[in-house]
A and B are shown apart, each in its own frame.
Chain A
Amino acid sequence: MTSIPLIGEAVAVAAEPRLAGAKIGVVTFPGTLDDRDAARAVRLAGATAVPLWHADTELGDVDAVIIPGGFSYGDYLRAGAISRFAPLMTKIIDAANSDAKLPVLGICNGFQILTESHLLPGSMIKNDHLKFICRDQTLRVENANTAWTLDYADGQEIVVPLKNQDGQYIADEKTLDALEAEGRVVFRYVGFNPNGSRRDIAGISNAAGNVVGLMPHPEHAVEVGFGPESLDGIGGSDTDGLGFFTSVLNKIVGGDK
């Protein structure tokens, strides 16, 4: 058998020495699709990606957790509705709510799992146009103080891919008002609301700012040539998503930031 990993296989390879000690767990459920991509993003940001399995009963020694996109359990019931009951999710919920405030990022299906887990408020329903949509999406960073957005500036616009079927963020007015008032709307769609989300909300955080969920995919904007094309066609936005991963690493390691 080969010792060289298959394409995109989630392997733990460390890079930058200062950050290499940081370990970021990437959870795989049956039906998870973007786990290898999230692990790649972690590596490109300079840290070590640790594959986590949904059925694990211990979280192990990780400094942060990413719940990647996909269709866990086929999303046949309601996106994320089954996954929230996975043994590992219990541990993640506890760690996120603990004093240590483990940083957790939920992307797409991961965001759906976080709302189903009540780590984040609201929910996602089918896109208003009822179709799957894949596009390069402009977002505005509304809060650059969360664990996952420290390397951005408030009001900064970034372009990352968006791809989902059930991406319409909804919550009752009171919840939405509270999110706005507390600065917990972290990302907003700019120019075009791709799914009918309330108040153009693309991503939110919990009150402490350690748990962030969003529908678009920053892990697909981390490498030149493989990310979204900048809208002016001259290049430059392929790696707009890398800041998510460097943000949390810098927070974990402390230091420069």
Chain B
Amino acid sequence: MTTETTKKFNIDTVEHAAKTPDTELPWAELGLKQNEFDEIVKVLGRRPTGAELAMYSVMWSEHCSYKSSKNHLRQFGEKVTEEMKKDMLVGIGENAGVTNLGDGWAVTFKIESHNSPSFVEPYQGAATGIGGIVRDIISMGARPVAVMDPLRFGAIDHPDTARVMHGAVAGIGGYGNCLGLPNIGGEMVFDSVYQGNPLVNALAVGVMRHEDIRLANASGKGNKVVLFGARTGGDGIGGASVLASESFDDTKPSKRPAVQVGDPFAEKVLIECCLELFKGSLVEGIQDLGAAGISCATSELASNGDGGMEVELTSVLLRDPTLTPGEILMSESQERMMAVVTPENIEAFEAVMDKWAVEYSWLGEVTDTGRLIITWEGEVIVDVDPRTVAHDGPVYDRPFARPEWQDSVQANSFTGSVEDAGRPSAPSELAAAVTELVASPNMCSKDWITNQYDRYVGGNTAMAFPDDAGVVRVDEETGLGVALATDANGRYTYLEPYQGAQLALAEAYRNVATSGAVPMAVSDCLNFGSPEDPDVMWQLAEAIRGLSDACMELGIPVTGGNVSLYNQTGTTPIHPSPVVAVLGKLDDVARRTPSGWREDGQAIYLLGTTAAELDGSEWSNLRGHLGGLPPKVDLAAERQLGEILINASRDGMVDAAHDLSEGGLAAALVESSLRYGVGARIALEELLERDGVDLFTALFSESQARAIVSVPRSEEVRFKDMCTARGFAHLRIGVVDAASAKLEINGVDELSLDALREAHEATLPKYFG
């Protein structure tokens, strides 16, 4: 202990820790609870060293250990049939799940949150959210091929919303565009419940050949452990445990350390470099460094492999030479990867690093001792069973109970409420209502956002926003591809969490089927408030139960995801927001169905039935009302509708299809008309008669399992026969009118497409410039 480093800080070795059991440690400041600290002492049989404490504190945080949700998340693995497992090559638990696409292709996708960092520092928070999820995808051995970003911000007119919106969108664009990954879709919701807790979720999808699947494990005694990519710096230290697990509360001292800073160029180089490593079969196991940095990578690699690893921490290349061992272990510096390499491959590995000018350092090797040993200049500062760090963290059965207020909220239906007074009914009122709806913050055009993202790069984007799903070609020879959609409705889930989560899944499923793809797999990002609040915990438990039940019923498994808790300001949580991503498969992306009609004279059909379901709707939201029960879930109908849309797409029976969701039929008709600037003539009298609803309800109800399609005349008989054979409600509601440049709905004053477009597109620029 004579080197320079000892001048900067005292090294707390394992030996020292054993001799000094009474040393006070800052476990509380690191976010650990008394019982958790006691458990660490019990596991180790002594007090932890400072470095060990750092590792346990980040790995046992809510963000890394899922300690509050684990007991519930189990259902995603349990409610799975053999049929659902058929195409699952890698399930929950790895960096991302992998699904078989056929022809030797596999696809991996995952959605994650980067919520708190994106509130503190929107640009970097959102940017590194993209970076992190993309590294998860690379870690599986895949080439990332697209990203998506569901976003939820505070009220559109709140002064802070512009700060978060500008930063997050620029960050997603600035990072994602620089990686060469097309951004193919996402969501945008404004609601004051997200004012202090915006939700910035990020999804990435990657593809690979079956034989290229890589897992995060360190096997083979004597194999070398290498850290490569960016240097380790002081950014994001403690971010995982502190930033993501504590709600923002003015009464406590601020615990907001620096948000990680992203370098997309380094990430782009890292992608290419990793793919070259995979191509040459040069790595045995690989793990990205995300939350909890080296702590996470070493403990996960070691515990998933033969169970042992020795690492010399002074070998880590640093940006900041003053970092302490604990800080190095906790640092969340971006664009880093850890890999296990056989001695024979060292030379070839280094050649790839040199070609891409990527820095690397050999940290140690795999052992068979079952221990993760980390040294500092040869002195042991960590000696743990890696499983206790990575997998055996605390698990809590948090108390939960149906909130007392739930009944009164559900009893407060929109229909007949004060806010419902003066419901539009005259033709002029209905026309104004349609225009108001499509110009509203949540229903307006998202071009302001999406025009800041590159949707073309890669040359395989077959469909992107504003269509129902993003579609990417995987195989250039056959046209095989995937479709992706993400959805969530916080209002529905607030009104009834079990159903709300199912509605999110139903919508994403419907969106994928609408594009013509066969839904195959699910990834979810569960954004909720504090699990220590029994009301919130109930929302979480119900949402997970609902989602897992629905996945089982629809026959598509959850392959991975993320839980983001403590999204609340003071005692006010966000609306429970389970964001559900569904991935589907298209045998040939040329058969995809866009959301807009183009050909004059095609028949427009409405599939499904409409009930008076306005509670939680965009219309009630516009009138400032939230109460009642969300639309009824009918998963059997969703499945039937999906089959019809998929068959129709495959057999060329429809040229356009658009799902009905937020904003109901009114929003769908306007969007399908504006997509290509082609009008339509609509008559709903038969629908009103059949379903027993009035014109306003027909237009604004958000009944589920519905879609509109445009059918070429030559296919009409065949299409109707198919729907009839399946016993699915279908009704011809109109015709495409290419000449009129209008949306004409009987009983509603004429809507010119120019006026609709102006209203639709002006909203975001008005608020955000």
Q: What is the bound-complex CA distance between A234 and B596, given in angstroms?
A: 11
CB distance from B522 to the nearest CB of A (A): 23
CB distance from B282 to the nearest CB of A (A): 11
Q: Which chain A residue lies CB-closest to B180?
A: A33
Q: What is the bound-complex CA distance between A135 and B761, given in angstroms?
A: 15
- Per the 8 Å Cβ criterion, residues 201-257 of A in contact with B are 217, 219-220, 223, 225-226, 229, 232-235
- Per the 8 Å Cβ criterion, residues 260-303 of B in contact with A are 263-266, 268-269, 275, 279-281
Number of B interface residues, CB 8 Å? 52
- Per the 8 Å Cβ criterion, residues 144-193 of A in contact with B are 161, 163, 165
In the bound complex, do residue B452 and residue A134 qualify as a contact, i.e. CB atoms below 8 Å apart? yes
**B211 within 8 A of partner (CB):** yes
CB distance from A128 to the nearest CB of B (A): 13
Contact check: which of B208, B280, B457 meets A34 at CB < 8 Å? Answer: B457
Mark interface residues in B450-477 (1 if CB within 8 Å of A CB, else 0).
Answer: 1111111111111000000000011110
> Which B residues are CB-close (under 8 A) to A132?
170, 173-174, 177, 452-454
- Per the 8 Å Cβ criterion, residues 166-217 of B in contact with A are 170, 173-174, 177-180, 207-209, 211-212
> Which B residues are CB-close (under 8 A) to A217?
456
**A100 within 8 A of partner (CB):** no
**B143, B177, B455, B474 pick with most chain A CB within 10 angstroms:** B177
CB distance from A119 to the nearest CB of B (A): 24
Q: Which chain A residue lies CB-closest to B356?
A: A30
Contact check: which of B104, B173, B460 meets A4 at CB < 8 Å? Answer: B104
CB distance from A53 to the nearest CB of B (A): 8
In the bound complex, do residue B456 and residue A1 qualify as a contact, i.e. CB atoms below 8 Å apart? no
In the bound complex, do residue A134 and residue B453 qualify as a contact, i.e. CB atoms below 8 Å apart? yes
In the bound complex, do residue B177 and residue A233 qualify as a contact, i.e. CB atoms below 8 Å apart? no
**A60 within 8 A of partner (CB):** no
> Which A residues are CB-close (under 8 A) to B636?
none
**B357 within 8 A of partner (CB):** yes
**B317 within 8 A of partner (CB):** no
In the bound complex, do residue A33 and residue B459 qualify as a contact, i.e. CB atoms below 8 Å apart? no
**A8 within 8 A of partner (CB):** yes
Are A233 and B598 CB-contacts (below 8 A) given A31-B268, A134-B455, A165-B177?
A: yes
**A98 within 8 A of partner (CB):** no
Are A7 and B476 CB-contacts (below 8 A) given A131-B170, A131-B452, A234-B598?
A: yes
Mark interface residues in B585-611 (1 if CB within 8 Å of A CB, else 0).
Answer: 000011000001010000000000000
Of the candidate stretches A15-23, A66-74, A83-91, the one touching chain B is A66-74
Contact check: which of A74, A75, A223 meets B459 at CB < 8 Å? Answer: A223
> Which B residues are CB-close (under 8 A) to A4?
104, 209
Are A7 and B177 CB-contacts (below 8 A) given A2-B211, A74-B265, A131-B452?
A: no
Q: What is the bound-complex CA distance between A7 and B170, given in angstroms?
A: 28
**A37, A75, A132, A232 pick with most chain B CB within 10 angstroms:** A132
Q: What is the bound-complex CA distance between A37 and B140, given in angstroms?
A: 24
In the bound complex, do residue A7 and residue B145 qualify as a contact, i.e. CB atoms below 8 Å apart? yes
**A36 within 8 A of partner (CB):** yes
Are A71 and B268 CB-contacts (below 8 A) given A1-B279, A33-B180?
A: yes
- Per the 8 Å Cβ criterion, residues 11-63 of A in contact with B are 30-31, 33-34, 36-37, 40
**B676 within 8 A of partner (CB):** yes
Q: What is the bound-complex CA distance between A131 and B769, given in angstroms?
A: 11
Are A233 and B677 CB-contacts (below 8 A) given A2-B211, A76-B265, A226-B462?
A: yes
In the bound complex, do residue A226 and residue B460 qualify as a contact, i.e. CB atoms below 8 Å apart? yes
Contact check: which of A71, A135, A223 meets B178 at CB < 8 Å? Answer: A71
Q: Which chain B residue lies CB-closest to A165?
A: B177
- Count of A-B residue pairs with CB < 8 Å: 120
Q: What is the bound-complex CA distance between A161 and B453, given in angstroms?
A: 12
Main secondary structure of the interface of A (DSSP, over half): loop
Q: Which chain A residue lies CB-closest to B266?
A: A74
**B678 within 8 A of partner (CB):** yes
Are A71 and B264 CB-contacts (below 8 A) given A30-B357, A131-B170, A132-B177?
A: yes
> Which A residues are CB-close (under 8 A) to B678?
233
In the bound complex, do residue A36 and residue B676 qualify as a contact, i.e. CB atoms below 8 Å apart? no
In the bound complex, do residue B452 and residue A7 qualify as a contact, i.e. CB atoms below 8 Å apart? no
In the bound complex, do residue B459 and residue A36 qualify as a contact, i.e. CB atoms below 8 Å apart? yes
- Per the 8 Å Cβ criterion, residues 668-700 of B in contact with A are 675-678
Mark interface residues in B421-461 (1 if CB within 8 Å of A CB, else 0).
Answer: 00000000000000000000000000000111111111111
In the bound complex, do residue A33 and residue B457 qualify as a contact, i.e. CB atoms below 8 Å apart? yes
> Which B residues are CB-close (under 8 A) to A7?
143, 145, 207, 458, 460, 473-476
Are A71 and B265 CB-contacts (below 8 A) given A134-B452, A220-B459?
A: yes
Q: What is the bound-complex CA distance between A8 and B459, given in angstroms?
A: 8
> Which B residues are CB-close (under 8 A) to A220?
456-457, 459
> Which B residues are CB-close (under 8 A) to A33?
178-180, 268, 457
CB distance from A72 to the nearest CB of B (A): 9
In the bound complex, do residue A6 and residue B143 qualify as a contact, i.e. CB atoms below 8 Å apart? yes
In the bound complex, do residue A8 and residue B209 qualify as a contact, i.e. CB atoms below 8 Å apart? no
> Which B residues are CB-close (under 8 A) to A163?
177, 454, 456-457
**A1, A7, A33, A40 pick with most chain B CB within 10 angstroms:** A7
Q: What is the bound-complex CA distance between A31 and B268, given in angstroms?
A: 6
In the bound complex, do residue B174 and residue A36 qualify as a contact, i.e. CB atoms below 8 Å apart? no
> Which A residues are CB-close (under 8 A) to B207?
6-7
In the bound complex, do residue B589 and residue A1 qualify as a contact, i.e. CB atoms below 8 Å apart? no
In the bound complex, do residue A2 and residue B209 qualify as a contact, i.e. CB atoms below 8 Å apart? yes
> Which A residues are CB-close (under 8 A) to B264?
71, 74
> Which B residues are CB-close (under 8 A) to A235?
598
Are A133 and B451 CB-contacts (below 8 A) given A71-B264, A163-B177, A165-B177?
A: yes
Q: What is the bound-complex CA distance between A223 and B462, given in angstroms?
A: 10
Q: Which chain A residue lies CB-closest to B273?
A: A30
Mark interface residues in A73-115 (1 if CB within 8 Å of B CB, else 0).
Answer: 1111000000000000000000000000000000000000000
CB distance from B184 to the nearest CB of A (A): 12
Mark interface residues in B471-486 (1 if CB within 8 Å of A CB, else 0).
Answer: 0011110000000000
Contact check: which of B275, B457, B675 meets A6 at CB < 8 Å? Answer: B275
Q: Which chain A residue lies CB-closest to B453?
A: A134
Contact check: which of B104, B170, B459, B476 meets A219 at CB < 8 Å? Answer: B459
CB distance from B207 to the nearest CB of A (A): 6
Q: What is the bound-complex CA distance between A220 and B460, given in angstroms?
A: 9
Q: What is the bound-complex CA distance between A76 and B207, given in angstroms?
A: 30
Q: What is the bound-complex CA distance between A33 and B144, given in angstroms?
A: 13
**A133, A225, A235 pick with most chain B CB within 10 angstroms:** A225
Contact check: which of A70, A74, A76 meets B180 at CB < 8 Å? Answer: A70
List 29 A-B pairs, Cβ < 8 Å.
A1-B281, A2-B104, A6-B208, A6-B209, A6-B275, A8-B143, A8-B145, A30-B268, A33-B457, A40-B476, A71-B178, A73-B265, A74-B264, A74-B265, A75-B178, A75-B265, A131-B170, A131-B173, A131-B452, A134-B450, A135-B451, A165-B177, A220-B456, A223-B459, A225-B462, A226-B461, A226-B462, A229-B676, A232-B676
Known contacts A7-B474, A33-B457, A226-B461; 10 further A-B pairs (Cβ under 8 A):
A6-B207, A8-B458, A132-B174, A134-B450, A134-B453, A163-B177, A225-B462, A225-B589, A226-B460, A234-B598
Q: Which residue numbers of B lie inside 8 Å of A, CB to CB?
A: 104, 143, 145, 170, 173-174, 177-180, 207-209, 211-212, 263-266, 268-269, 275, 279-281, 356-357, 450-462, 473-476, 589-590, 596, 598, 675-678
> Shortest 7 CB-CB distances between A and B: which pairs?
A233-B676, A74-B265, A33-B180, A2-B209, A37-B459, A220-B456, A71-B178
